[in-house]
């Protein structure tokens, strides 16, 4: 039996073949991400500037309303930079989550006509968001220079880990939502609302410390560990909390496994019900 | 060597309930469960116990065949026979409900031309994107890039977004990318039905060349018997999800066109979907009938045969004429004939509405055998085809003898496709 022999059977469980296929189709993964970026760049007048505009304006609005008017505590650092670090990760996570959950529906025409590992679609939508993240990061560097923050080398090294956790969390959650979305089309209307609620359950605009004894409850949210530690690493608001990072990592891995399981289970019928 | 494709007992089941509720709202599911939890539990248990069965529909059942390396197989069958489902299972878009398929080679599927084309991207960009979607690597596409552009004949528009392409250019580009992929097994679904005839010929040539040169295996689904006959040596006829015939192409096509096989002396289309036509005109009904306008399956050679089509003109201000083509059972065209228009175009423009046109084939004209009829509705000047379904209707001519037939008193073998009763002049000249 040669390597290219393929057997099609009714039942398909998650196997090492799936990972192998992802590897074979890796170019397609980049092509989809590239297409989405290119199209967005062509369709909007301001194109890539949107990636700068969005976090920047959100930061300004939040600073005015929460920082100035509501006098939100910010762990002793200027509120703009405090909220921006939170927003950086939050926007990556939330936009990735919502794009991922629509990834199958918006590529419906392709899904029903060609075979490729379906996992590519949600993963490529998250990859697109990495580019936005990188652009938004440039502003952060500018702000850190302006406010005179210089993170330690350890802090900088922590960032990729935090990004990987956010990436996995977005993919995991996105896979679950994408699977439900194929079957129940009203999910996409509920999603923006759900994400908005989630924003308030994540310490983006406030420090986790104000939740007092409930802050342990917040730790169930993997993004809490990410954002808290990003602040600790970059702004030195507190020592890096490895326990919290471990919790986030474990939570994300569970989420990702669950997502993969649900996705693979429903994947076979996408083309039939989409 | 083991066959390149082995299909064993493939079946595909759909639940009718699934089909009906195309968009299920999560809201409704939750609300129904909350409103009447008892009913929900009851129906669930009944399903599990087996008292209540979901309505099932087998789109394919007990399909078995093997394909040898380098074979080109045509799959024909009426709408809903399971052709597309079979291709979708072979290309892994949807899994079978039972059975097993072994594919010994790389599979490329072409269920549609231009899958994944994005209107905002340029021709160049789409070539790479589409190539990747069809399973080609970037280096593979780069290597063939020149060839693809050459074949599609769009060089000067390479850097134009394809939303500005004409539909002809779009199809040419799409097909060109697809034609340059090099899988061991190629699955094609009716894609050649698009594009102009000239380009279709070019594509067929290309495909022929590929199979002969590189021994590629092709499975080809089509309604066009002429293309099937040109490309394939072997055909499979699917009927209601099962294999009805598998064998040489000539034999298969003539079986397929046989009225007893499901070809009909009358057709009608409800609504817009599937009805031949465009946004100017659409055919609603067609039938073959006798002198009293009664639809009939078979006719005596001595009978006059009418072909009537009803069509709806959907826009004012266009000019029309209509014609038919009569085909032999194997798809060879015996003739085309249209209503000859001598008037100026503005005098023959027809207003919106339902129209009916009938044409009469004279008695003692066709020989005995099976025939199919297609229609053509067109604009006479400048010539433009609105629609031209190749074979819509099927009928049989039964031999007849007698002095009023072309046979006279002769009762032996009578070859020929047509059997006209001609006028003779005989005189003694010496």
**Percentage of chain A exceeding pLDDT 70:** 94
Residue owning tokens 């003739």: B335
Integer Cα distance of A115 and A103 in angstroms: 15
Q: Do B286 and B375 meet the contact criterion of CB atoms below 8 Å apart?
A: yes
Report ipTM for this prediction: 0.84
Integer Cα distance of B300 and B404 in angstroms: 12
- What is the domain partition of chain B in residue ranges? 60-260, 266-398
What pLDDT was estimated at residue B20? 38
What pLDDT was estimated at residue A3? 46
- Nearest in space to A7 (alpha carbons), one of B355, B89, B235: B89
What pLDDT was estimated at residue A175? 93
Confidence of residue B226 (pLDDT cuts 50, 70, 90): low
The 10 Å Cβ neighbour count of residue B248 is 12
B23 has a pLDDT exceeding 70: no
CATH of domain B266-398: 2.70.50.60
H or E segment to which residue B299 belongs: strand B298-300
Core vs surface per residue A191-219: b (16+ CB within 10 A) or e? beeebeebbeebbbbbbbeebeeeeeebb
| B226 contact A CB<8A | no
Integer Cα distance of A207 and B306 in angstroms: 85
Query: What is A167-200 written as a DSSP string?
Result: HHHHHHHHHHHHHHHHHBTTHHHHHHHHHHHHHH
For residue B25, give every residue at least 6 positions away whose Cβ sits within 8 Å of its Cβ, in sequence order, or none: A184, A185, A186
Confidence of residue B17 (pLDDT cuts 50, 70, 90): low
Integer Cα distance of B56 and B8 in angstroms: 21
Question: Tokens representing B82?
Answer: 């399971």
Top mean-pLDDT range of A29-43, A93-107, B404-418: A93-107
DSSP state of B367: P
Strand, helix or coil for residue A122: helix
A258 has a pLDDT exceeding 90: yes
Measured between beta carbons, the chain A residues lying within 8 angstroms of B26 are 180, 183-184, 186-187, 190
Task: Give mean pLDDT, residues B43-67.
Answer: 74
Please answer yes or no on whether A186 and B109 come within 8 Å at the CB atom.
Answer: no
Confidence of residue B67 (pLDDT cuts 50, 70, 90): very high
What pLDDT was estimated at residue B235? 92
Mutate to test the interface with B, among A1, A2, A6, A30 (most CBs of B within 10 A): A6
pLDDT in tens, B348-380: 788 899 999 999 999 999 988 888 899 999 888
Integer Cα distance of B358 and B119 in angstroms: 43
**Which B-chain residues 375-404 have CB contacts (< 8 A) with chain A?**
none
What chain B residue is nearest to A118 in terms of C-alpha separation? B93
Of A80-84, A185-189, B284-288, B384-388, minimum mean pLDDT range = A185-189
What chain A residue is nearest to B6 in terms of C-alpha separation? A7
Helix and strand numbers, DSSP H then E, in chain B: 10, 21
Task: Give mean pLDDT, residues B173-193.
Answer: 79
B39 has a pLDDT exceeding 80: no
Task: Give mean pLDDT, residues B4-20.
Answer: 76
What pLDDT was estimated at residue A92? 94
Residue owning tokens 């009447």: B36
What pLDDT was estimated at residue B206? 76
Measured between beta carbons, the chain B residues lying within 8 angstroms of A4 are 104-106, 184
What pLDDT was estimated at residue A1? 38
A253 has a pLDDT exceeding 90: yes
Output the CA angle B368-B307-B313, nearest 5 degrees: 155
Confidence of residue A252 (pLDDT cuts 50, 70, 90): very high
Strand, helix or coil for residue B369: strand
Confidence of residue A14 (pLDDT cuts 50, 70, 90): low
What pLDDT was estimated at residue A255? 92
Q: Does domain B60-260 have CATH number 3.40.50.300?
A: yes
**Which B-chain residues 256-275 have CB contacts (< 8 A) with chain A?**
none
What pLDDT was estimated at residue B22? 44
Strand, helix or coil for residue B267: strand
What pLDDT was estimated at residue B54? 60
Mean pLDDT of all residues in chain B?
82
Ramachandran assignment for A180, one of left (phi > 0), alpha (psi -120 to 50 degrees), beta (any other): alpha
What pLDDT was estimated at residue B397? 86
**Which B-chain residues 180-209 have CB contacts (< 8 A) with chain A?**
184
| B101 contact A CB<8A | yes
What is the number of CB-based contacts under 8 A between chain A and chain B? 112
Handedness of CA B117, B123, B129, B135 (dihedral sign): positive
Q: What is the pTM of this model?
A: 0.71
What pLDDT was estimated at residue B311? 92
Measured between beta carbons, the chain B residues lying within 8 angstroms of A188 are none
Q: Do B387 and B278 meet the contact criterion of CB atoms below 8 Å apart?
A: yes
Task: Give mean pLDDT, residues B219-227.
Answer: 75
Task: Give mean pLDDT, residues A173-190.
Answer: 86
Higher-pLDDT residue of B57 and A137 is: A137
DSSP state of B398: E
């Amino acid at each position: 039996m040669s390597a290219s022999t393929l057997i099609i059977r009714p039942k398909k469980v998650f196997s090492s073949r799936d990972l192998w296929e992802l590897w074979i189709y890796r170019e397609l993964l980049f092509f989809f991400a590239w297409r989405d970026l290119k199209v967005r760049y062509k369709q909007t007048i301001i194109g890539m500037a949107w990636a700068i505009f969005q976090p920047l304006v959100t930061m300004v609005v939040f600073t005015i309303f929460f920082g100035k008017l509501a006098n939100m505590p910010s762990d002793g650092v200027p509120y703009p930079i405090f909220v921006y670090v939170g927003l950086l990760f939050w926007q990556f996570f939330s936009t990735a989550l919502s794009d991922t959950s629509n990834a199958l529906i918006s590529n419906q025409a392709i899904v029903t006509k060609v075979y490729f590992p379906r996992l590519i679609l949600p993963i490529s939508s998250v990859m697109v968001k990495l580019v936005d993240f990188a652009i938004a990061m440039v502003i952060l560097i500018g702000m850190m220079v302006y406010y005179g923050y210089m993170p330690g080398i350890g802090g900088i090294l922590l960032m990729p880990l935090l990004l990987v956790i956010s990436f996995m969390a977005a993919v995991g959650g996105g896979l679950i939502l994408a699977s439900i979305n194929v079957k129940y089309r009203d999910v996409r209307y509920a999603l923006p609302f759900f994400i908005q609620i989630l924003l308030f359950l994540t310490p983006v605009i406030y420090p986790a410390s104000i939740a007092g004894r409930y802050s342990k409850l917040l730790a169930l949210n993997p993004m809490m560990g990410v954002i808290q530690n990003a602040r600790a690493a970059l702004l030195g608001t507190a020592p890096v909390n490895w326990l919290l990072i471990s919790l986030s990592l474990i939570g994300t891995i569970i989420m990702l496994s669950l997502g993969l399981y649900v996705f693979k289970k429903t994947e076979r019928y996408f083309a039939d019900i989409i | 060597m083991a066959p390149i494709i082995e299909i064993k007992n493939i079946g595909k089941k759909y639940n009718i309930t699934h089909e009906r509720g195309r968009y299920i709202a999560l809201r409704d599911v939750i609300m129904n469960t909350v409103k009447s939890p008892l009913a929900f539990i009851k129906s669930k248990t009944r399903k599990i116990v087996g008292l209540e069965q979901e309505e099932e529909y087998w789109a394919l059942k007990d399909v078995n065949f093997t394909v040898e390396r380098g074979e080109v197989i045509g799959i024909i069958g009426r709408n809903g026979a399971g052709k597309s489902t079979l291709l979708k299972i072979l290309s892994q878009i949807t899994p079978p409900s039972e059975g097993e398929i072994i594919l010994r080679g790389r599979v490329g599927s072409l269920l549609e031309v231009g899958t994944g084309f994005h209107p905002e991207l340029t021709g160049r960009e789409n070539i790479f994107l589409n190539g990747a979607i069809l399973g080609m690597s970037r280096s593979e596409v780069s290597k063939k890039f020149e060839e693809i552009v050459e074949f599609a004949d769009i060089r000067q528009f390479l850097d134009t977004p394809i939303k500005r392409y004409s539909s002809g250019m779009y199809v040419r580009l799409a097909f060109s990318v697809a034609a340059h992929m090099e899988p061991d097994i190629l699955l094609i679904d009716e894609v050649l039905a698009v594009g102009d005839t000239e380009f279709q010929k070019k594509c067929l040539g290309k495909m022929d060349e590929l199979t002969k040169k590189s021994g590629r295996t092709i499975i080809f689904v089509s309604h066009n018997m002429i293309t099937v006959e040109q490309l394939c040596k072997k055909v499979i006829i699917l009927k209601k999800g099962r294999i009805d015939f598998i064998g040489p192409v000539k034999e298969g096509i003539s079986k397929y066109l046989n009225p007893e096989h499901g070809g009909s002396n009358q057709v009608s289309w409800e609504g817009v979907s599937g009805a031949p036509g465009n946004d100017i005109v659409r055919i609603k009904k067609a039938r073959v009938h006798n002198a009293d306008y009664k639809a009939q399956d078979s006719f005596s050679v001595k009978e006059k045969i009418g072909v009537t089509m009803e069509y709806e003109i959907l826009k004012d201000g266009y000019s029309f004429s209509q014609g038919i083509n009569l085909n032999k059972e194997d798809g060879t065209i015996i003739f085309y004939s249209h209503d000859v228009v001598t008037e100026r175009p503005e005098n023959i423009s027809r207003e919106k509405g339902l129209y009916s046109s009938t044409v009469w084939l004279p008695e003692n004209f066709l020989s005995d055998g099976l025939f199919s009829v297609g229609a053509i509705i067109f604009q006479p000047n400048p010539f433009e085809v609105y629609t031209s379904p190749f074979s819509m209707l099927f009928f049989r001519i039964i031999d007849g003898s007698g002095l009023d037939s072309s046979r006279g008193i002769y009762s032996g073998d009578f070859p020929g496709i047509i059997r006209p009763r001609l006028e003779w002049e005989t005189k003694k000249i010496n």
